[in-house]
Amino acid sequence: MKLNEFKPLELASTAHHLRASKLQGASELLTHDYALWQGKIEGLLKLLPNIPLFDLVVSSPPYNIGKEYEIPQTLEKYLQWQEQIIDELVPRLKPGGSLCWQVGTYVDDNQIWPLDIEFAPIFKRHGLQLRNRIVWHFGHGLHAQKRFSGRYEVVLWYTKTQSSKDKYTFNLDIVRVPAKYPGKKHFKGPNQGEFSGNPLGKNPEDVWNIPNVKGNHVEKTDHPCQFPVGLIERLVLSLTNPGDLVFDPFAGVASAGVAAALHARRFWGCELNSGYAKTGHKRLQETLDGTIRYRPHNKPVYDHTQSSLSRAPEGYKTEGRE
Ligand SMILES: C[S@@+](CC[C@H](N)C(=O)[O-])C[C@H]1O[C@@H](n2cnc3c(N)ncnc32)[C@H](O)[C@@H]1O
């Protein structure tokens, strides 16, 4: 899609909070442009019609690392549980649609299992085609003592296609980023002397440096590991078109919904925890009202060397160490 092809759509301006506990079902969800369904995804998938519904499924499932919303289980059992959910999601993804699974690393007894490696065979069994393994790099996290500190997670981007002839949505121009050398020119050939780069900028590549939501990040809520909206914004813009339906089965505080609503895509999410669902619903409504605060995907990362705190105190020896 070219930038000027965007046409405003008539989408609803109200977000709905539906509750499994009140027996609010899929028939109600199906009537809304923006809704969070509070309950287990396993339950919702039993209620939803088994037909292609979603243009983009994007989620970060629990990683089985002992967060407050997880019941720890063996990696094998965890993957079996996830596979049952993926088995139900894939038939509901439209042909040519995209599925993005954002995962980190499972750690046990100081050994690491990068979860994208574990998930890849599950998606392959469904015949999905892997388009990118995006490395999401961020600057803050725990300081490890017995291995190098982890500073990236992965987004596996699959399309529901079978051959290279099958079409899928990929809007590159709208997510281009500033080129390193926009002033570079062709130095020979028929275009000699003309600028050689794309005036819209360069492909953002497959390593994305987007700050994670910690401390005083403008998007911080009480959720311990929410998506930065910018991470999903870039996926929503490039992998869907206005009016498309985005679905997050583990929606947390609806960061994917914020990204979708910001750009006139519809959104349904499912979240088990009532507090997160409530916050998610509020954020969705704030987005529709135009009052949400968020950090866009193309905002440059803060240059920490500009801070006075980045100057090493006297006596610190950090340069030239072998
Ligand atoms: C990694 S977090 C997702 C955070 C989300 N990406 C955000 O930006 O807020 C995983 C979420 O899945 C929820 N969850 C765990 N088990 C669930 C289930 N069976 N059905 C639906 N949600 C579940 C947790 O409460 C948690 O909020």
Q: Does residue 133 sit within a domain?
A: yes
Compute the Cα dihedral for 83, 85, 88, 89 and give only its sign.
negative
Q: Which residues line ligand 1 (CB under 6 A)?
A: 40-42, 60, 62, 69, 223, 225-227, 250, 252-253, 255, 270-273, 276
Q: What distance in Å separates the CA atoms of residue 23 and residue 289, rounded to the nearest whole number?
A: 28
Contact 88, 40 (CB under 8 A): no
Ligand 1 center to 250 CA (angstroms): 4
CA of 181 to the centre of ligand 1 (A): 41
Residue 85 lies in a domain: yes
Average pLDDT over residues 277-284: 98
The predicted pLDDT at position 319 comes to 65
Q: How far apart are CA 217 and CA 307, in angstroms?
A: 17
Per-residue pLDDT tens digits for 283-292: 999 999 999 9
Q: Ligand 1 center to residue 5 CA distance, Å? A: 34
Number of CB atoms found within 10 A of residue 6's CB: 13
Within a domain: 309: no
Instruction: Give the contacts of 56 (CB within 8 A, at least 6 positions apart).
Output: 97, 98, 99, 100, 235, 236, 239, 240, 244, 245, 246, 247, 265
CATH assignment of the domain containing 210: 3.40.50.150
Helices (H), the chain: 26-29, 41-47, 75-89, 115-125, 229-239, 255-262, 274-289
Overall domain count for the chain: 1
Q: β-pairing, 152-159 with 93-103?
A: antiparallel
Is the pLDDT reported for residue 2 higher than 50? no
Is 307 within the bounds of a domain? no
Q: What is the pLDDT of residue 3?
A: 43
Atom of ligand 1 nearest to the CA of 276: 27
Which residue, 243, 266, 235, is CA-closest to 58?
Answer: 235
Q: For residue 271, how far is its CA from the centre of ligand 1 (angstroms)? A: 6
Beta strands in 21-72 (DSSP E): 34-38, 54-59
57: exposed, middle or buried (C-beta count within 10 Å: 0-12, 13-18, 19+)? Answer: buried
- Encode pLDDT of 131-144 as tens digits: 999 999 999 899 99
Percent pLDDT > 90 in the chain is 80
pLDDT attached to residue 322: 52
Ligand 1 atom closest to Cα of 85? 19
> Which ligand 1 atom is at minimum distance from the Cα of 40?
20
Count Cβ atoms below 10 Å from residue 129 Cβ, excluding itself: 16
Query: Nearest C-alpha to atom 12 of ligand 1 is from which residue?
Result: 250
- What DSSP letter does each residue of 196-221 carry, written as one string? -S-TT-B---SEEE---S-TT-TT--
Question: Position 200: which residue type?
Answer: L
Q: Which domain holds residue 162?
A: 11-168+206-301
Q: Among 65, 210, 250, which is best to mutate for testing ligand 1, by the most ligand atoms less than 8 A from CB?
A: 250
Q: Is residue 96 part of a domain?
A: yes
- Ligand 1 centroid to Cα of residue 306, in Å, is 36
On whether residue 40 sits in a domain, the answer given is yes
pLDDT tens-digit readout, 203-235? 999 999 999 999 889 999 999 999 999 999 999
The ligand 1 atom at the shortest distance from the C-alpha of residue 280 is: 9
> Which residue has a Cα nearest atom 24 of ligand 1?
69
Is 175 part of any domain?
no
Q: Which two tokens stand for residue 83?
A: 């596979």
Residue 66 lies in a domain: yes
Cβ neighbours of residue 286 under 8 Å, at least 6 residues apart?
Answer: 292
Q: pLDDT tens digits, residue range 144-154?
A: 999 999 999 99
